[in-house]
Amino acid sequence: MTEDNHSLTTEFILIGFSNHPELRTILFLVFLIIYLITMVGNLGLVALIFIQRRLHTPMYIFLGNLALMDSCCSSAITPKLLQNFFSKDRIISLYECMAQFYFLCLAETADCFLLAAMAFDRYVAICNPLQYHTWMSNKLCLQMTTGAYIAGNMNPMIHTGFLFRLTFCKFNQINHFFCDVLPLFRLSCVDPYINQLMVFIFAGSVLIFTITIVVISYFFILFTIFTMKSNKSRGKALSTCASHFLSVSIFYGSLIFMYVQPNSGNEGDKDIPVAIFYTLVIPLLNPFIYSLRNKEVINVTKKF
């Protein structure tokens, strides 16, 4: 038995933003406001879609589930982040760490499939409007939503399971503001090559599959839009898709930069700005991206 084997780490210290104590109060208020607006915006959108029967269509069902997953993503990260601003030890146990990663990965994976489902829904609505209600039936909508949640749970189950093959006996300081797998790999006493390979394979597979659906859908959407003779119809179709395309571009761009690029696990604190963007900023922006450009949601909100 070596000395390292006698002191396996079961708790970690989240360094987060502790290197800037002078900004502690300001950062706490900023992230608190972001969290409150995120929860009010997303859960408010979920409640609005649930209450108003005229919004019980495939597009808004997908949007409501996307808002629910954005709330899950933000809630998995922000409460612990806010607590650590005024905590002396900033300790998180290994099992708390795994739970935090599980719910974050669940939300992000489900988001990928929901965004792909929304892209397909827009393709049918614009390219085959007469067959929309036939294609986008309640049964297909339920199957696509259920599939997103099943895939959302399977992905973190695999990565969380593989975390049990790692042992942590060196440093216990995570240079991040939440427990992600990439910072954990850097602390492992066991070679995390298999874990990194699994992240690359599964993250890459999810992104390639869902991005392919989005790209193909928007290829046919743009082709149909630019063949329309009416400028009014063309503008209406572009307006309908613009918010979704903006959200998709920001979301997928952040995930690819974070998890699929080569040597993505060796960037240290360079991961933090990107992580803030896809875990906190995107869930904040999505309700406004979809609501402010959607006349039907605005009208229902005013009426309500």
Tell me the pLDDT tens digit for each residue of 81-99: 999 998 888 899 989 999 9
Helices (H) and strands (E) in the chain, counts: 11, 3
- Average pLDDT estimate for 211-239: 83
pLDDT digits (tens, 9 = 90+) for 141-192: 999 999 999 999 999 999 999 988 888 876 788 888 999 888 888 888 888 9
Q: Which helix (H) or strand (E) holds 91?
A: strand 91-93
Q: Is 27 exposed, middle or buried (0-12, 13-18, 19+ CB in 10 A)?
A: middle
Average pLDDT, the chain: 86
pLDDT at 240 over 80: no
pTM metric for this prediction: 0.89
**What are 260's two structure tokens?**
């699929």
pLDDT for 263 equals 54
Long-range own/partner contacts, residues 205-210 (CB < 8 A, 24 or more apart): 206/109, 206/112, 206/113, 206/151, 206/155, 207/112, 207/252, 207/255, 207/256, 207/260, 209/116, 210/112, 210/113, 210/115, 210/116, 210/252
pLDDT at 237 over 80: no
Q: What is the pLDDT of residues 258-295, one digit of tens each?
A: 766 555 555 555 678 888 888 999 999 888 887 766 77
